[in-house]
DNA sequence: TATAATACCGTAATGATTACGATTTGTAAA
DNA sequence: TTTACAAATCGTAATCATTACGGTATTATA
């Protein structure tokens, strides 16, 4: 998902385009990995001093709902990143910079046989650690 | 991990045995799945009216640290369950009752080759849904 | 450009968790 | 079995992320 696709999607669904909304998209496009609401607020503060929590969280939830952002949870905080729309995959997440690496292994196929009669609604497969760029040798 | 193993482990490490500590162990043994701090507090309140948050959270963290409990995070809350010590595996987690089913598939072996030069510190593979017992037909 | 729906602000409320000084209790040595 | 002291607990306040709300401003469109 890129910025233009995201803006089109919002328009299509009848949401309005605002400067803040565009800036949030830019932030996540440049982030190239998971970021917290706090990270986003800090970024927006430089342009929009005193931006409201309401605005930030409302838009994060909206973006997640319409599929612009995907989300996970770590250390009691929600993390957001641009949605990878091309195909199903999982992520290695760097705990230092938040950047992610795509993992194309998905174990669900092997798993379903162990879960007959279970109603499966979702799954999460994530790998945590430090990416090469963040390793101080 | 059962209650006696847990108590021995605590003694071994120099921690004191108290009624509350034993009750917490009993609670998790009977729970047979993930529970929140809130669940535990509600249970303890019936015996120890006005039990302190400090006591509850301190012991949850202690138990997690020494390996009596394992933990995960869902919907902004931490969940705790008795640690499965026998071998490495993952869980299906029922979102209604919190009970878990062991999943013996672990995708990590296939993954490491995709992550040369990455420092891998941990991983999480969980499946969410509704267990057969909780499905109202 | 007028209108209405949507977005945003400023701030208060919530919910889970953490923290702290004072008090109580378990343990082991005397 | 008493004593002494470290550890555990209490009662409560503080913190942190997130959610909520009444009033105001802005965007889209007719």
Chain B 10-29, residues with CB within 8 Å of chain A CB atoms: none
Q: What is the pLDDT of residue B85?
A: 80
Helix axes B53-66, B3-12, angle to 10 degrees: 90
pLDDT band at B40 (very low <50, low <70, confident <90, very high): very high
Mean pLDDT of all residues in B99-109 = 93
SS3 label, residue A80: strand
User: Residue B14 CA to nucleotide D4 C1', Å?
Assistant: 18
Q: Across-strand partners of A36?
A: A79
Q: For residue range A5-40, what is the model confidence (pLDDT) as tens digits?
A: 999 999 999 999 999 999 999 999 999 899 999 999
Residue B53 contacts strand D, CB under 7 A: yes
Taken in order B28, B89, A93, A106, the sign of the CA dihedral is negative
Interchain CB contact of A104 with B (< 8 Å): yes
Q: What is the pLDDT of residue A13?
A: 95
DSSP one-letter string for B56-88: HHHHHHHHHHHTSEEEEEETTEEEEEE---SS-
- Nearest-angstrom CA–CA distance, B56 and B20: 9
Locus of tokens 């209650």: B3
Q: For residue range A69-93, what is the model confidence (pLDDT) as tens digits?
A: 999 999 999 999 999 887 899 999 9
Is the confidence at residue B137, as pLDDT, over 80? no
Q: By CB neighbour count within 10 A (0-12 exposed, 13-18 middle, 19+ buried), where does B22 fall?
A: middle
Residue B14 contacts strand D, CB under 7 A: yes
Q: For residue range B42-54, what is the model confidence (pLDDT) as tens digits?
A: 999 999 999 999 9
* Neighbouring residues of A31: CB distance < 8 A, sequence distance ≥ 6: A39, A81, A82, A98
Q: Which nucleotides of D are covered by protein (CB under 7 A)?
A: 7-13, 17-22, 26-28
Give the number of beta-carbon pairs within 8 Å between A and B: 103
pLDDT band at B15 (very low <50, low <70, confident <90, very high): very high
SS3 label, residue A62: helix
Q: What is the pLDDT of residue B18?
A: 97
Q: For residue range A125-135, what is the model confidence (pLDDT) as tens digits?
A: 999 999 999 99
What does the block give as tokens for B133?
């017992």
Mean pLDDT is lowest, of A31-40, A91-100, B78-87, for B78-87
Of B103, B107, B118, the CB nearest to A105: B107
């Amino acid at each position: 998902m890129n910025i233009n696709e995201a803006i089109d999607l919002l328009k299509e669904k009848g949401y309005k385009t605002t400067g803040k909304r565009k800036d949030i998209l830019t932030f996540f496009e440049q982030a190239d990995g998971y970021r917290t609401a706090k990270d986003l607020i800090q970024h927006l503060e430089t342009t929009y001093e005193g931006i409201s929590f309401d605005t930030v969280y409302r838009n994060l939830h909206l973006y997640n709902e319409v599929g612009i952002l995907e989300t996970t949870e770590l250390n009691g905080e929600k993390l957001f990143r641009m949605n990878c729309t091309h195909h199903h995959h999982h992520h290695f997440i760097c705990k230092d910079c938040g950047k992610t690496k795509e993992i194309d292994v998905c174990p669900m196929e092997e798993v379903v046989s162990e879960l007959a009669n279970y109603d499966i609604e979702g799954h999460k497969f994530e790998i945590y650690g430090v990416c090469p760029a963040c390793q101080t040798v």
